[in-house]
Structure 1
Amino acid sequence: MCIEMTHQFYGFEILDVDELEENSSSSSGDGEGECGPQKLTRAQRKRLRKKKLKEEALRRRKVIGPLLPTVSDDGKGDDGSIHPSIGNISMLDRLILDQNSLSGNIPKEIGNLSHVIELDLSNNRLIGSIPLAIFNISSLHVLYLTNNSLSGFLSLNVEEHQLNLEAIDLSSNQLTGEIPSSLCQFQELRFLYLSRNNFTGQIPRDIGFLSKLERLRLTKNEITGTIPPSLGNISSLQFIRCVENRIGGEIPQGLGNLLHLKMLGFDFNNLTGEISPAIFNISSLAYIAFTANRLSGHIPASAGLQLPNLKGIFLANNQLSGEFPMAITNASKLIELELSYNFFAGSVLTNLGNLWQLQCLNLASNQLTNELRNLELDFINSLVECRMLQFVIVGNNPLNGILPDSVGNLSSSLEMFNIENGQINGHIPKGIGNLSSIISLFLNGNNLSGSIPSEVGKIKQLLKLYLSRNVLQGSILEELCHLIDVGEILLSENELSGFIPDCIGNFSQLQRILLGSNKLTSTLPSSLWEITSLLLVNVSNNSLQGELPPEIGDWSALMY
């Protein structure tokens, strides 16, 4: 999801799907999160709730942490643990002790709180297993134990009168074993969060009995098996996140029946087969995420026609093939389009400008081409309409075209432009200097000719400049020395000539400079060796003269 994998997978996280869930739960109406001061984050809501609860604590039998050790019946031990006497406060209906640095085990006596509705012990340092007694509290509706160091198996012995739980959050602990099938008896359950543990085994086959479930999060466990077909029976489901597990098999067709679904996320698993066309007809969907699986087949040509709320589609690093889905440009709310590292073919669409909210376009490492009838890369002209664009990553495709002058009119927010190894011809447009926010410019591995335009020196934010393996001529311009924050300059394997400018010493953050296999002459400027951040220098296969300074022996980290 716009994340970066070294050498193989580009991406940059823009959309926070956790934030989407929190915003959705805090809003009214259809539940879609919106930007603006009228919306509260989860943390803000919790602070507001705790403030109100503290005002009512004496009147309504609540204990809001931290519990003070100066109070005899506070329930907190001198060592920062939860004292077993907490179970004596029998009329308590809410116990909220999150973010109190509590340590030690959860005492089994907590199960004596027979009237407690909400139990929140999250964000502490609690260890040991979760007492079975907690799940025997028949009045309990909300259980938050997230972000502790709780371990052991999750053992449940559920009786019919104990089925009132609506929310269970045990994420970010060290729980092991299988997810107990007895969880599926909590038929009032709306939120089940078990992410970031060490659960193994399969998702319970009977999970479909949780008929009121709205959010299921099982991310970052060791879950195996397949996706239970019964998951498609839970019509209330809005969010499914089972990222970074080892779930295999095919995607059940029944998931296409979840008409209220906003997030469907199974990134980084072992899923095979095709994506059901029905999934692309769920009009409520905001995110489709199957990055890094082994999915094959085509994306339906109609994908996008029935997705008016789609914000992100993440299908990178699979084995998908076929034509670029033409109807995707109808999903006008799309922010991220991630299709890299597949086998998509055909032309890059020339109406991508319809996606006016697009921030990240990643089509790298496919078999995509330019419109055959045009020399210029027409899709670049279209992207000028995307004024929020931050990342354009289309490298490692046989595009075979010329960079249009319109590249200089791309979004002023653009941070990365990557068209490496794209069979690009012609000159580097001078307008590229207008991209004032560019951090990474990758034009390497093409057939670009002419000189490096001096306008590149105007891109003050530039950190990475990759122009190697082209047929660029002329000299290394002194204007490049204006890039004082640049960390990597790759100009090797071109036809650059002349001398290396002495102002190269201005690059105070430079770590790598590759100038090998050119036609450079004269000597290496002494200012080069004044750059203390240097890790790699390559000036081989040139016509340079002179000797290396003796000080180079002090550069223990330098490779040259």
Structure 2
Amino acid sequence: MVVLHHQHLILLVVFNFLLLFAAESVTLDTDRLALLEFKKQITDDPYGALSSWNDSIHFCNWVGITCGHLHPQQVINLDLQGKGLGGSISPSIGNLTFLSLLTISNNRFHGQIPQEIGNLNRLQIISFANNTLGGELPTSLPNCTRLREIYFFHNNLVGKIPVELFTSLSKLEIISINENDLTGEIPASFGNISSVRVISLAGNKLQGSIPDSFGQLTNLFYLSLGLNNLFGMFPVSLYNLSSLQTIDIVQGQVHGSLPRDIVLTLPNLQILLIAENLFSGSILGSISNISTIKVLELGSNSFVGSIPNKLGDLQNLQLFLIDQFGGGKVDDLDFVNPLVNCTLLELLDIEGNSFRGLIPNFKANLSTQLSILHLGMNQISGNIPAGIENLVNLTSLAMEQNFLEGNIPSVIGKLPKLQRLFLGDNRLSGQIPSSIGNLTNLYELHLENNNLNASIPSSIGNCQHLQSKSKPPSTPLIGVQFLKLSYRKLFQATGGFSPANFIGSGSFGSVCKGIIDQDETIVAVKVPSLQNSRVDKSFSAECKALRNIRHRNLVKILSSCSSLDSKGKDFKALVYEFMPNGNLDNWLHLPMEAQYHSRNLSLLQRLNIAIDVASALDYLHYHCHAPIVHCDLKLSNVLLDNDMIAHVSDFGLARLLLEPDDDSSQTQTSTIGIKGSIGYVAPEYGMGGRATIQGDVFSYGILLLEMFTRKRPTD
């Protein structure tokens, strides 16, 4: 009887072992088959990263695969980041139920994120960053209750952030979904994730206010919500988070003020980015007591009062931007002198304000890290100090539109890294120093509208766009990085301005497609017709309008050229980012057989385009240093990129409202005289009325009617 009992025990052990073995075999085969199904969805593998994924090698030894120690036959890590892979994510990914880490970032995956992701209940880190994934956030993601880090940034994800998405993910520490196309409001449920340390939602299309519940996140040290459409009051509760190191809400309509005791409430603050909002009040002295501060970007708000001179005590300060600072009493340049003592300072930008005073004489061994110094468009007087030679790392120096006097110091030629030098529109006199010819990296030089000797030293042979007061106005540009392009390069890029590269034409010239050889950048080259007497004025107006503006719904300028062509005649061109889907007029009015997908714009697409154009106008009218009136808004001036995002273009008629309008006293009847195109132009312009933002709004209304009725204004 005892023997029989032992036999039963042995059989039971063997049976259980067989069951475990069978289960293990099934699981093993499931993981292998899931990976092979995943591979089937890969349509492009330029580096052969998945060439090892075959039955000649055990799948635990395949590239990017790690199996576990406790479960040696199960995949716990799938890491294929940066392999150049293209394709979609197979739903079979959900069968790898032991996955702890899943990363396919820095590839070219497209399509939607499969709902089967929710089956991965052991998943801790998921990274799909830097792909072109679309669709909405998977609603099954809350099933992954062990998730600690989510990286979905830089994709094309759309839709709202589901309220329930983060209610069950109590272990989340990092949420990075920036640079997508998410809409709607930020759910207040974010405030329930007490473990979260990083929230990055910048660069979407989110609306509404910043949830007050963020003030509950006592572990939060990085909050990035900039480049959205947020509005409302900045939550005062956030000022109580002593853990915060970074606050980024750039370019919204958020209002509020800085707390008087900010040094006590945010003692660890390192980066404060609140530019291009509606903040008011004063810049309090306490901000200069935050010894940890590294980056301050406060421009384009409505601050008043003086800027603390104690900023020089911020020994960790690296970037300080208060360009287009705001109104009120902010006009004293004395605070710049202490900043000379900030030995780590790399960027100082105070452009577009009303600062008065003298430029400090930069001392040797101090401020040597300074790379960008922008003091333009102020009321700064005196001479350019000789101590400027101590800024040996300077790449961009802008002091235009001030009241600077005296000579240009020859020591400027001792700045070996200088690429851009803007000294135009001042009262400088004397000779142009030949030492500028020593600046071998210089590709932009602006000295126009001064009292300089008109002769240009022969040593300056590598500087483009150089013009003295006796010459026509120069071509000012926007931004920091520009392509260095000559007539020859543009001639080569467009195939000799071949008709095959012709994009379109207007009253001011033609536009050609080109390919810049150094990195095969596709560009649009706008070449004005110099036979037209109004071209110089239009060309200058477009340059001036584009010089200091930046917005995701405005066409991006890459460079300009003002030179001589192969026959020795004057040549001008503006180089823009190429928009592969052409202009809105072609989409709505070309016949069906045309190359554009005419009549295929859905109602939602038209609505999104209308919102994009409205966002661009709102920026031009209310968020620039001087309000800009476009004056020629119409369908053909709305360009569409690869994602059907609208970009307003053609600023040839634009007006800066704070400057006198040369045409205001004239009663011309041409489209130039009435500041716009027939059918779109505001009625008062026909009677000699000045350009106004209301005129642009009228044109926008006509554009809306045309978009949704498909009838031209002159029908």
Q: Deviations over 1:189-244 (max 9, x none)?
A: 10111122221111121113211001111122111011111111111111111121
Shift of the alpha carbon at 1:299?
A: 2.6
Do structure 1's residue 553 and structure 2's residue 506 form an aligned pair?
A: no
Q: CA deviation at 1:456?
A: 2.7
Q: Cα deviation per residue 1:516-539 (whole Å; 9 max; x = unaligned)?
A: 259xxxxxxxxxxxx999999xxx
Is 1:237–2:251 an aligned residue pair? no
Judge which range, 380-389 or 407-416, deviates more: 407-416
CA distance in 1, matches of 2:572, 2:116: 62
TM-score calculated relative to the size of structure 1 = 0.70
SS of the residue aligned with 1:179? Answer: coil
Give the residue type in structure 2 aligned to 1:395: E
1:485 alignment counterpart: 441
Aligned pairs, how many? 445
1:97 corresponding residue in structure 2: 64
Q: 1:173 to 1:303 in 2, by over 3 A?
A: same
Name the Cα RMSD after superposition: 3.9
Aligned to 2:466: 513
2:313 is the alignment partner of 1:299:
no
Report the Cα distance in structure 2 between the residues aligned to 1:189 and 1:418, rounded to whole angstroms: 45
CA distance in 2, matches of 1:318, 1:550: 43
Partner of 1:101: none
Is residue 336 of structure 1 aligned with residue 307 of structure 2?
no
* 1:177 aligned residue (122, 135, 144): 135
**Is the 2:268–2:292 contact (alpha carbons within 8 Å) kept by the matching residues of 1?**
yes
Residue by residue over 1:447-480, the C-alpha shift from the partner in whole angstroms, topping out at 9 and shown as x without a partner, is 1222323333333332222221112223323344
Give the alignment of 1:426-437 within 5 angstroms. Answer: 426-437=382-393
CA distance in 2, matches of 1:97, 1:479: 56
Find 1:356's aligned residue among 315, 334, 342.
315
For structure 1, the residue ranges without an aligned partner over 5 or more in a row are: 1-60, 62-75, 99-112, 519-530, 537-548
Q: Distance in 2 between matches of 1:472 and 1:552?
A: 34
**TM-score in terms of structure 2 length:** 0.56
Aligned position for 2:148: 190
Q: Residues 76-114 of structure 1, C-alpha deviation per residue, up to 9 Å, x if partnerless? A: 99x95869986999x97786528xxxxxxxxxxxxxx98
2:405 counterpart of 1:452: no
CA distances 1:132-157 after superposition (whole Å, capped 9, x unpaired): 33224332222122233333332325
**Structure 1 residues 476, 129: closer, same or farther in 2, change over 3 A?**
closer
For residues 340 and 467 of structure 2, the distance between their equivalents in structure 1, rounded to whole angstroms, comes to 32
Is this contact kept in 2: 1:305–1:330, CA < 8 A?
A: no
Structure 2: give runs of 5+ residues left out of the alignment. Answer: 1-27, 29-41, 66-71, 472-485, 491-526, 528-562, 574-715
- The worse-fitting range, judged by mean Cα deviation, of 404-413 and 316-325 is 404-413
Q: Distance between the aligned counterparts of 1:437 and 1:82, measured in 2?
A: 45
Match of 1:203 in 2: 161
Q: Which residue of 2 aligns with 1:421?
A: 377
Rounded Cα–Cα distance in structure 1 between residues aligned with 2:83 and 2:359: 55
Structure number having the greater helix percentage: 2
Compared CA separation, residues 148 and 468, structure 1 to 2 (3 A):
closer
Q: Which residue of 2 aligns with 1:115?
A: 74
Distance in 1 of aligned mates of 2:195 and 2:62: 29
Counterpart of 1:310 (choices 269, 273, 282) is 269
- SS of residue matched to 2:432: coil
- Residue 182 of structure 2 corresponds to residue 223 of structure 1: yes
Distance 1:483 1:264, change over 3 A: same
Other structure's SS at 1:135 match? helix
Q: 1:524-543 counterparts in 2 under 5 A?
A: none
AA aligned opposite 1:205: V
Show the counterpart of 1:14.
Answer: none
Q: CA 1:116–1:272 in structure 2 vs 1: closer, same or farther (change >3 Å)?
A: same
- CA 170–463 in structure 1, closer or farther in 2 if over 3 Å, else same: closer
Partner of 2:173: 214
User: After superposition, where does 1:41-440 map in structure 2 within 5 Å?
Assistant: 96-97=63-64, 115-156=74-115, 162-206=120-164, 207-367=166-326, 377-406=333-362, 410-440=366-396
Conservation of the 8 A alpha-carbon contact between 1:512 and 1:534: no
Q: Return the alpha-carbon distance in structure 2 between the equivalents of residues 384 and 116 of structure 1.
A: 56
Q: Among residues 455, 475, 479, which one is paired with 1:500 in the alignment?
A: 455
Q: Which moved more, 1:455-464 or 1:438-447?
A: 455-464
Task: Tell me the distance in 2 between the aligned counterparts of 1:432 and 1:126.
Answer: 49
Structure 2 CA distance for partners of 1:94 and 1:315, relative to 1, 3 Å: farther
Is contact 2:362–2:390 with CA below 8 Å preserved after alignment? no
Identity of aligned residues (%): 33
Q: 1:205 to 1:478 in 2, by over 3 A?
A: same
Which one-letter code corresponds to 1:477 in the other structure? P
Greater relative contact order (CA < 8 Å, ≥ 6 in sequence) = 1
Instruction: Flag the structure with larger Rg.
Output: 2
Structure 2 distance, partners of 1:400, 1:474, is 24
